[in-house]
């Protein structure tokens, strides 16, 4: 090319001179860090906001755990307290229970019903149901008794001619029972005795000497290990029996006053006496 035809071509330096030691400006711009203006406010990076959200979640779970732990401890304390209360109540209940081995009911032979508190504690009032031969015969009010006290509750009727059992039951607590064995009494009857109207005893010869319309009194008595006699009956010479309750004055002899009929010189006298449990014998 002709330099004269293009004069400006000689004025422009080469784009990349071989002798230039300074790197190109565009290379420095590409490698330099961006400059933050001094007046600008730093903006928290997005990662910081994300980090805050993540940290809030474990804190909430920790609070819930602490609350649950506190509730568990509270329930445990309440449970222990309730257990102690129940145990103490049971101990108090046992300590105030009736000591039936030392709190006793009794029935005497004449039917008197009594109670005695031999325990070391005071006992409240109640009622006592009394049974004889498993039949309820009476109910008595039992007063409150201090330790060592007793009381008579009342009297009941008891069989006198047979064995029986008795039982007393407290309506709140305690019971006692017993029995009475009544053996068959041993009884006997005396020989018949003859008396005149003046209560002088007659011999067999004197009886034979009696005549029509004379009065003779035949008497009999009995003995027994228990029980009583309340009447007698007589039969003369096989005639009908006559029952009597009259007794010779000052004695236990039952007597029958007999008027001798015409022509009677011999006497066959049969007598029986009645025992309240044995009967006639």
**pLDDT tens digits, residue range 27-49?**
444 444 555 555 544 555 554 44
CATH number for the domain that contains residue 215: 2.60.40
CATH number for the domain that contains residue 111: 2.60.40.10
Buried/exposed code over 165-183 (b: 16+ C-beta within 10 A; e: otherwise):
ebbbbbeeebebeeeeeee
Whole-angstrom distance, CA of residue 212 vs CA of residue 9: 212
22 within domain boundaries:
no
CB neighbours of residue 202 within 10 Å: 17
Whether 120 and 173 map to the same domain: the answer is yes
Inform me whether the pLDDT recorded for 149 exceeds 70: yes
Q: Please tell me the predicted confidence (pLDDT) of residue 51.
A: 44
231 within domain boundaries:
yes
Q: How many domains does the chain have?
A: 3
Q: Please tell me the predicted confidence (pLDDT) of residue 10.
A: 44
Inform me whether the pLDDT recorded for 161 exceeds 80: no
Q: Are residues 255 and 246 in contact, defined by beta-carbon separation less than 8 angstroms?
A: yes
Whole-angstrom distance, CA of residue 176 vs CA of residue 153: 14
Inform me whether the pLDDT recorded for 74 exceeds 90: no
Whether 75 and 128 map to the same domain: the answer is no
Whole-angstrom distance, CA of residue 142 vs CA of residue 123: 10
Parent domain of 216: 187-280
Whole-angstrom distance, CA of residue 189 vs CA of residue 167: 38
Determine the length of the chain: 281
11 within domain boundaries:
no
In a 3-state reduction of DSSP, which class is residue 274?
strand
Q: When comparing pLDDT for 14 and 163, which is higher? A: 163
Q: Are residues 145 and 117 in contact, defined by beta-carbon separation less than 8 angstroms?
A: yes
Q: Going edge to edge, which strands form the sheet with 215-220?
A: 193-195, 215-220, 254-259
Q: Please tell me the predicted confidence (pLDDT) of residue 181.
A: 85
Q: When comparing pLDDT for 162 and 152, which is higher? A: 152
Whether 169 and 232 map to the same domain: the answer is no
Pairing of strands 193-195, 269-275: unpaired
Q: When comparing pLDDT for 101 and 185, which is higher? A: 101
């Amino acid at each position: 090319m002709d330099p004269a035809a293009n004069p400006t071509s000689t004025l422009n330096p080469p784009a990349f001179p071989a002798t230039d030691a300074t790197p190109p400006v565009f290379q420095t711009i590409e490698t330099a860090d961006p400059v933050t203006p001094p007046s600008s406010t730093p903006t928290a990076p997005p990662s910081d906001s994300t980090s805050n959200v993540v940290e809030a979640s474990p804190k909430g779970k920790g609070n819930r755990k602490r609350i649950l732990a506190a509730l568990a401890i509270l329930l445990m304390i309440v449970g222990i307290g309730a257990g102690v209360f129940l145990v103490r109540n049971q101990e108090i209940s046992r300590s105030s229970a009736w000591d039936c081995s030392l709190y006793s009911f009794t029935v005497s032979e004449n039917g008197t019903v009594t109670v005695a508190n031999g325990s070391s504690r005071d006992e409240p009032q109640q009622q006592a149901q009394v049974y004889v031969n498993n039949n309820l015969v009476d109910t008595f009010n039992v007063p409150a008794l201090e330790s060592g006290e007793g009381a008579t509750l009342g009297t009941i009727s008891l069989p006198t001619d047979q064995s029986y059992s008795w039982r007393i039951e407290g309506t709140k607590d305690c019971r006692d029972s017993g029995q009475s064995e009544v053996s068959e009494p041993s009884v006997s009857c005396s020989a018949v005795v003859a008396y005149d109207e003046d209560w002088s005893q007659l011999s067999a010869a004197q009886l034979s000497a009696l005549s029509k319309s004379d009065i003779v009194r035949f008497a009999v008595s009995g003995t027994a290990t228990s029980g009583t006699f309340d009447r007698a009956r007589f039969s003369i010479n096989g005639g009908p029996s006559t029952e009597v309750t009259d007794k010779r004055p000052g004695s236990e002899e039952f007597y029958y006053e007999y008027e001798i009929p015409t022509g009677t010189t011999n006497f066959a006298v049969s007598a029986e006496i009645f025992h309240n449990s044995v009967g006639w014998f």
